[in-house]
A and B are shown apart, each in its own frame.
Chain A
Amino acid sequence: MRPELSEYPFDWMLWRSLISASRLKHGSEKEYQSALRYIPYFKGVVNTIYNMGSPGQKFLKIIETYVERIVTAKENNRKVAMTTFCFSPALLHAMDIVPVSLEPMTVLGSVMWKRGCLDYMDFCTDIGFSETGCSSQRGSMGAYLARAASEIDFIVIDSAGVCDTNSNAFSFAATYLNKPFYGLNYPATLIDDQTKHYHRDDYRNMITFLETHTGKKLDIDRLREVLNQHAKQDALIHEIEELQMLVPNPMPVTYNFLIYAGRFFFSGVSLYTELLEEMLEIVKQNAKQGKSGLTGGQEKLRAFFIYIDHYSLDLKLWTLLDQRGISHLGNILSRGFSAKAPYIKYVQNHGYQIDTSTLDSMIDSITEINARMPMVRSIRGPYDLPHMWLEESAALAKLLKADCCVYNGTPGCRNTWSNVKLIANDLEKHGFPTHIMYGDAFDERVESWEITSTRLEEFFTIRGLL
């Protein structure tokens, strides 16, 4: 790691960048434009976010607050949990624990800084972590391991049985930092009674772990508040998802990103609810006018991303889609699988219910929410079994009237790289031309965005989609 990077903590740098970014629009347009001249490497992403309008500004506020909570946790006497994107942070918010979700933090570094999180990734390799491990964790994790970030108190994740690479990264961190570790472990099955019992035992055991390490009992009122907020957020998301099925899709291209990122940061917290309300308003207006959410106003193609997005500097993927008139219909990170979701009856109808009547029912609800988090639900077992990746990808692509499917991930993903060729074949059989991107969502050294995007465009052209 370059020596200068250890001078300033990673999360602190993110926080200061975000504060500056969120203040840029406080002055006049002229002031804004001249400020941009002073941030040549940063203006791309700032522009992209401000072009989202008011939800963009709200989103900036959300991430600023999220990172602020991390860097100020110690002075506010809060415990910090290192965790993963597919772990619902709602419980942590309910227990007044500050989450540091590594993958979304790597996304922030990747889209905001020219150097991305590459130095931190390489630091992991320096200290013995496998170079082929997933870059999504290695990015921000490197900063925490290098002690070039806030100190964490414990690690809590839910990827055992779901993703080895993920679990392995966090257990490595636990050993290296000598911190308490708890990992939820998921069976390949989801809905039978035995599995449900197992989920409950494991989740409750985790709550005990959190109570032990925070010295605080789970507060029933706070949990209820978080779950009520969660239900509200679900309802808003479902309304947006319903409208997303329209042709043209009235949803602006970046909204999927905001929906899932917001969920990973602030599930069950009112800031996220407010963001969703604003987004829904805009989508509704567009829908009323029969307008596409794309900047150009014309929807030429509808693409469903079956895995994750590409987080190159300045959110270039979304700019490319927007410029080419391509609607982004969401990806594996977008859906929560609540029992009320508009698509739930097409994926064997086993969504979670939120029941806030008793403490037990609330813990059961959040357990079920967690078992349906992205990746946890879809890649636990064989991809072509019920409640798994193929079923949901095919159903959603059809429901959303996708013209094609796109896979993007990281070379560190053993799971999907073991069956992406199979699912791509299956989706083709379902009638969806499917493209596999070979790049790394967080590390352009694997394949530059220029090459990745050229190949993507080639796919659109050759398959006669554009």
Chain B
Amino acid sequence: MTIIAGCDVGSLTSKAVIMQQDKILAVEIIKSKAKPQESANLVLENALTKAGLKLPDVQFIVGTGYGRDHIPFVHKTMSEISCHARGAKWLVPSAKTIIDIGGQDCKVIKLDKTGNVSKFIANDKCASGTGRFLEVMARMMNISIQELGEVSEKSKQPIQFASMCTVWAQADVVKYLNSGFALEDIGAGINMAMANRVSMLVSAIGIETDICMTGGVSKNSGVFVSLERILGHKIKKARKLDPQLAGALGAALIANDQIKGRA
């Protein structure tokens, strides 16, 4: 029995996936701790408990995410780009373009015919176009991040936000709230602004279908639908697994390759 694992220590959340060859045994998502080591230990331990396993049972572990260099138990580290690409390809095998929006950055990855990364681009200039942007905005509106995603559906007239800058947009949100605009219209406007920003990255790398979306923000239906509209293409949903786990999943799959390679 070959057990492998992927561990993705991100800036906001940490994720682990445990697999037996192609079968997922257990997954876990936790809020990241102050130290990446702590996050890694905790998230893997929880996942192992769920799978009824212990650390020595795992033959190969690949670490990824911003904290990857500080994970004590990994056998190999890989960049998030490679892991997300691998994970997304497993979730949506027809994917050529992958949009991954995490808490702190947004990446667009293009795959070649064989599923290898042929190009990637990342926005890490500022919070706009990242999960952090939505988090700040949801907080301003006093609603949860889930609710922010759902309000888009109710909106008939989304507000057009002039600014994509998190600081300026906050001021605009306050202004609209104080002027009594409907919460759903403000929320839909925020999701739209986010989608606009992300679409620029996608255009910069060039769209190739199928497009699939991973990362925490892909769970926000408002951003998802707006992005489809702007890009003029359907985006495939990852149905087999929580799309937030794509990085950890990819890491586990790469671990599997390593084992196979050894064999």
Residues of chain B from 140 to 197 with CB closer than 8 A to chain A in the complex: 161-165, 168, 171-172, 175
B118 interface hit (Cβ, 8 Å): no
Contact present for B203 and A447 (CB under 8 Å): no
A446 interface hit (Cβ, 8 Å): yes
Contact present for B172 and A451 (CB under 8 Å): yes
Interface size on B, residues (CB 8 A): 14
B interface footprint on A134-175 (CB within 8 Å = 1, 0 otherwise): 000000000000000000000000000000000000000000
Choose among A3, A123, A450 the residue that contacts B232 (Cβ–Cβ < 8 A): A3
Contact present for A446 and B203 (CB under 8 Å): no
A interface footprint on B46-79 (CB within 8 Å = 1, 0 otherwise): 0000000000000000000000000000000000
Min CB distance A357 to B, Å, is 54
Contact present for B162 and A447 (CB under 8 Å): yes
Bound CA–CA A126/B198 (angstroms): 12
B34 interface hit (Cβ, 8 Å): no
B interface footprint on A183-220 (CB within 8 Å = 1, 0 otherwise): 00000000000000000000000000000000000000
Contact present for B203 and A126 (CB under 8 Å): yes
Min CB distance B233 to A, Å, is 10
Choose among B171, B172, B200, B230 the residue that contacts A125 (Cβ–Cβ < 8 A): B200
> A122 to chain B: which residues have CB within 8 Å?
200, 203
Bound CA–CA A423/B161 (angstroms): 32
**Chain B at the A interface: SS class:** helix
Contact present for A448 and B172 (CB under 8 Å): yes
Contact present for A450 and B204 (CB under 8 Å): no
Given contacts A2-B230, A444-B162, contact A450 B203 (CB under 8 A): no
Contact present for A448 and B163 (CB under 8 Å): yes
Contact present for B163 and A444 (CB under 8 Å): yes
CB nearest to B202 among chain A residues: A126
A445 interface hit (Cβ, 8 Å): yes
Contact present for B230 and A445 (CB under 8 Å): no
Bound CA–CA A125/B203 (angstroms): 9
Interface residues on A, range: 10 to 19
A389 interface hit (Cβ, 8 Å): no
Contact present for A449 and B162 (CB under 8 Å): yes
Bound CA–CA A123/B199 (angstroms): 11
Min CB distance A271 to B, Å, is 35
Contact present for A448 and B168 (CB under 8 Å): yes
A301 interface hit (Cβ, 8 Å): no
Bound CA–CA A61/B32 (angstroms): 63
Choose among A3, A125, A445 the residue that contacts B163 (Cβ–Cβ < 8 A): A445
Contact present for A445 and B200 (CB under 8 Å): no
B interface footprint on A27-67 (CB within 8 Å = 1, 0 otherwise): 00000000000000000000000000000000000000000
Contact present for A447 and B163 (CB under 8 Å): yes
> B163 to chain A: which residues have CB within 8 Å?
444-448, 451
Choose among B164, B203, B232 the residue that contacts A445 (Cβ–Cβ < 8 A): B164
Bound CA–CA A3/B203 (angstroms): 11
Min CB distance B29 to A, Å, is 33
Contact present for B164 and A450 (CB under 8 Å): no
Bound CA–CA A335/B32 (angstroms): 59
Bound CA–CA A328/B168 (angstroms): 27
> A123 to chain B: which residues have CB within 8 Å?
203
Bound CA–CA A451/B163 (angstroms): 10
> A2 to chain B: which residues have CB within 8 Å?
230, 232
> B200 to chain A: which residues have CB within 8 Å?
122, 125-126
> B164 to chain A: which residues have CB within 8 Å?
445
Choose among B171, B204, B230, B232 the residue that contacts A451 (Cβ–Cβ < 8 A): B171
A245 interface hit (Cβ, 8 Å): no
Residues of chain B from 201 to 255 with CB closer than 8 A to chain A in the complex: 203-204, 230, 232
A1 interface hit (Cβ, 8 Å): yes
Min CB distance B260 to A, Å, is 39
Min CB distance B203 to A, Å, is 4
CB nearest to B160 among chain A residues: A114
B interface footprint on A1-25 (CB within 8 Å = 1, 0 otherwise): 1110000000000000000000000
CB nearest to B169 among chain A residues: A448
| 8 A-B residue pairs with CB within 8 Å | A122-B203, A123-B203, A126-B204, A445-B163, A445-B165, A448-B162, A450-B162, A451-B168
Give chain B's interface residues, CB within 8 Å of chain A.
Answer: 161-165, 168, 171-172, 175, 200, 203-204, 230, 232
A-B pairs, 5 with minimum CB distance: A448-B162, A126-B203, A444-B162, A126-B204, A3-B232
Give chain A's interface residues, CB within 8 Å of chain B.
Answer: 1-3, 122-123, 125-128, 444-451
Known: A447-B168, A449-B162. 20 other contacts (CB 8 A): A1-B203, A122-B200, A125-B200, A125-B204, A126-B200, A126-B204, A127-B204, A445-B162, A445-B163, A445-B164, A447-B163, A447-B165, A448-B161, A448-B163, A448-B172, A450-B162, A450-B172, A450-B175, A451-B163, A451-B168
